[in-house]
Amino acid sequence: MAEELQKLSPEELKALREELEKEVFGSDESEDEDLPEEEESGEQGPVQSGKSITVEVAEDKMSASVTLSAPNPGEYYSVPEIIGALRSNRVVLGLKSDAIADLVSEEIYEEPVVIAEGKEVEPGVEGYYEFAIDMTPHKTPEIREDGTCDYSAMCKLANVAENDLIARYHPAVQGTKGYNVIGAEILPKFAKDQPVLRGKYIVYNPETLEYHATVSGKISCSNNNVEILTVHEISGDIDITMGNVEFYGDIVITGNVEAGVLIRAGRNVTINGTVAAANIFAGGDVVLAKGIQGNNKGRISARGSVFAEFIEYATVDAQGDVQSNSIINSMVNAGGKVVVDGKRGIVVGGYTHGLKGVTFRTSGNYSEIKTDIHAGYKPEEYETYLGIVKSEKECRAKAEEVVEEIGELLKIAQKKGITQGQKERIMELNTMKDAIYRNIEEIERDKKFLSAKMSEGVNASITSKGTVHVNTLIGIDIAQVKILKEENYLKYICKNGEIERRTVPVGS
């Protein structure tokens, strides 16, 4: 019978109890009067109930549990009884209906069961900036996987270019309220927004919540103040232990630059000391107050011009001019002019090229060291140009052949119809034609670029304001002459593919 009762729901158990009471005790008072009197068997008090509901609320009031004592036979617990006991103990929120139903139907006794749980606060998120640039200073070298140190990382700057994204703001998100089982509301901590970023060279977009830079330079941020410096100045000398210097703006170094250092600037580089076998790259000009002694390893590359007191055993490439007091055993290329003037004004050894011309006081020396000086477009550039012209001519001829064959096949198709093989051949020819025309477009771009560069060297000349020593090679465009005996105060020009000399006034 007990097993059958356990299978009944509380409602079914309650209905069964009521039905049993009617059968045993009758349904009203008149029926009670007709019952036979029981024989007296001594005094009997009321039967003590075995039901007891114990409610325990956690110290933090975030949960409550119920323990049911084992009832006497025939006694049962009901959901309303448990709810009433919970309310008597002020447990009103977070009730777990499934747990209460199981407690009754499964007759769980003498065992605490959690039947109410509060809701924890969901914390908010304070506003924050997501920076697109790493502004962390690097004061120690990076350790490579092989255990060696990378000192170049020590001088890394937080650089920003004009229009670069600096930061994106994420507004504060408020948290969600919670509550405990006795009905008390628990408020989350208020999530604060951050103050706006401030700075001279930044702009804010309220739609995207983004901050962008209006200039290029070195960037730093402290207490929501963004500073962008367009000049990065380094006092003293720089060696390999200080690492590389890379900056989007101007770089100014008051001391020397030792061998192995890399300097890269988005704009100009100014070095007041001497440069050893270092590598310098500038988006603007390079100014070396005391020059470079490169030991055949030093290199300077500038999109602007290069100015140096001396250039020795180094490679210099400038899209603008190169100006120095002396060039010794170096490889110098200038997209503008090379001017070697001043107290010495000498070019000795190496190769010096100025697309728009070269001017110097003295070339070579009494030891007759080979000194190559060139102006105008280079012979190899001219050969490249001729090759481009030839390729263009061949491509256009091939294109004409392909177009002609396609036309013939289409004529045949109009008269006799087209075969499957002819269709495939026309498709093949069309693919070939497209590839040829793409190649012609690339050739025309290269031709236009090289032609423009060569035209800048038109009428280029080489001028000596002093002595041209023996074994100096004077080249203009594709013409070249070797100096076999000392010459003085001359201007060399190229006319009809030959080098011609013009006299230069002494002291000019």
Burial class (CB in 10 A: 0-12, 13-18, 19+), 500: middle
Cβ-based neighbour number of residue 84 at 10 Å: 12
Residue 37: the pLDDT is 44
pLDDT value at position 465? 93
pLDDT of residue 103: 87
Cβ(358)–Cβ(462) under 8 Å?
Answer: yes
Contact 306, 298 (CB under 8 A): no
* Residues 6 or more apart in contact with residue 73 via CB below 8 angstroms: none
- Residue 419 CA to residue 458 CA, distance in Å, equals 57
- The pLDDT tens digits along the chain (508 residues) read 334 434 445 565 455 445 434 433 344 443 444 434 444 444 444 556 678 899 999 999 999 999 999 888 888 888 898 899 999 999 999 999 898 888 888 889 999 999 999 999 999 999 999 999 887 765 545 556 665 545 445 455 677 888 999 999 999 999 999 999 998 999 999 999 999 999 989 999 999 999 999 988 888 888 889 988 888 889 999 998 887 888 888 999 999 999 999 999 988 999 999 999 999 999 999 999 999 999 999 999 999 999 999 999 999 999 999 999 999 999 999 999 999 988 889 999 999 999 999 999 999 999 999 999 999 998 888 889 899 999 999 999 999 999 998 888 888 888 878 888 888 888 999 999 999 999 999 999 999 988 888 888 889 999 999 999 999 999 999 999 999 999 999 999 999 889 999 998 876 6
Domains of the chain by residue range: 2-23+50-117, 128-229, 231-379+460-503, 382-456
Full-model pTM:
0.60
Contact (Cβ atoms closer than 8 angstroms) between residue 10 and residue 79: yes
CA-CA distance, 279 to 15, in Å (whole number)?
Answer: 97
Structure tokens at 196: 């706006």
Cβ contact 270:278 at 8 Å: no
Neighbours of 178 (CB within 10 A): 17
Instruction: Tell me the C-alpha to C-alpha distance, in Å, between residue 287 and each of 19, 254, 321, 446.
Output: 110, 12, 12, 32
